[in-house]
Amino acid sequence: MAARHIRTRLAIYLAAIVIIIVWSPYKQNWSADPGVYGRELLICLGFGILGLTAPRIQVTGTLRRAMYGSLIVADMILIPLAYYKVAAMIGVFAMLPNVLKARQKHYGPYAILRTVVLPVPILFITVIASGRPGFRQLGVSYYVATVAGYMGHIIAEEKGYSE
Amino acid sequence: MAQRGLCESTVRFRGHVTVGIFTYFIAVIPIAAWILYRQDWAVTELWRRWWELLICFFLCLLGAMVPDTDIRSKSQQVIYSILLAADLILILLGYYRGAAILGFWAIIPNILPHRGPLHSYLAAIIIPAPLLFLPVIATGKLEYQQLGVSYYIATVSGYMSHLLADIRIMDKR
């Protein structure tokens, strides 16, 4: 049972890595600047960690405080720099877990479906931030990283429940 | 264990709301006095501002819930549902700056310990303070009669009722 879960998680992470590696150069018309590429990968890693830890944000603890602390820091940087749209989106995302009931919305039989649906707004963060609509402007790599992290967490939790 | 926590949370929520309702019947005296003074009315004319008294009632209840936004509770769900709705309305209307600032302030209770800074008399006085200036901003008239004193009194009363009820519970324990 455990081996099957590990294999599933590995397959998800590998698929996500492939999509992320391909999407970034595609977004830049296959002329990837190494600096931009590296930055993209770092941001994707951040989104992956966000997805991996997001379900735990509903449970009181150090991780919850750390996540909200990082969101406050992000807001404190974005608001003075006048990135109001992104800061407003962060505010909405930060409020959502407080409205949902713990371990009822993030976990359960439809959890995998939710891992795909809930992070959808991340797709549009880059479109909103740049103000330029277009397919290449979509935050596909960020979305995929978040979904992979989130799915990994849910699969690991389901294993925990089944044992 | 989780079920017990949920039951305790619901009992706590109901208790604070009940105390908030009773508190309003005391707070309504200074609230009515302010309305009559501001409008320069006789007591019999108070019913003409029934909607303001109703808003004050709900603000008193919300004030009684605010201190528990630093813990997973029914109060937290109610307050954050209202804040989320307000934030989404601001975003839809294109007030991104306001939405960003509201979102920023809404995140803060999540990093505070329960019965920490939010459970203090100083917080009870400071947190509802923006309500004093909301009518001034909304009307654009810089007059002291425009201050939201009634809203402020209602919210502070509700907030204080929560703190006093918590002290009473702590004493019993």
Q: Which residues on A lie below 8 Å from B94 (Cβ)?
A: none
User: What is the token pair recorded at B27?
Assistant: 């707070």
Residue B87 and residue A88: Cβ atoms within 8 Å?
yes
pTM (predicted TM-score): 0.72
Q: Which residues on A lie below 8 Å from B76 (Cβ)?
A: 98
Please state, in angstroms and rounded to a whole number, the distance separating the CA atoms of residues B154 and B34.
Answer: 12
Q: Which residues on B lie below 8 Å from A70 (Cβ)?
A: none
Please state, in angstroms and rounded to a whole number, the distance separating the CA atoms of residues A116 and A118.
Answer: 6
What amino acid occupies position B153? I
pLDDT above 90 (res A108): no
The whole-number pLDDT of residue B172 equals 60
Residue B83 and residue A58: Cβ atoms within 8 Å?
no
Average pLDDT, whole number, for chain B? 87
pLDDT above 50 (res A163): no
> How many Cβ atoms from other residues are within 10 Å of residue A16's Cβ?
23
Question: Residue A91: closest CA among chain B residues belongs to which residue?
Answer: B103
The whole-number pLDDT of residue B170 equals 60
Looking at per-residue pLDDT, the higher value among B172 and A61 belongs to A61
- Of A62, A65, A86, A95, which to mutate for an interface test with B (greatest number of B Cβ within 10 Å)? A95
Element (H, E) at B48: none
Q: Identify the band that residue A94 occupies on the pLDDT scale cut at 50, 70 and 90.
A: confident
> Helix H segments across chain A?
2-27, 34-53, 62-78, 84-99, 111-117, 120-130, 140-162
Residue that has been written with the tokens 């009822």 in this structure: A104
Mean pLDDT along residues A19-48: 80
What amino acid occupies position B121? Y
Average pLDDT, whole number, for chain A? 79
Per-residue pLDDT of chain B (173 residues; tens, 9 = 90+): 444 454 456 668 889 999 999 999 999 999 999 999 988 888 888 889 899 999 999 999 999 999 988 888 889 889 999 999 999 899 889 899 999 999 999 999 988 888 888 999 999 999 999 999 988 888 888 888 889 999 999 999 999 999 999 886 666 65
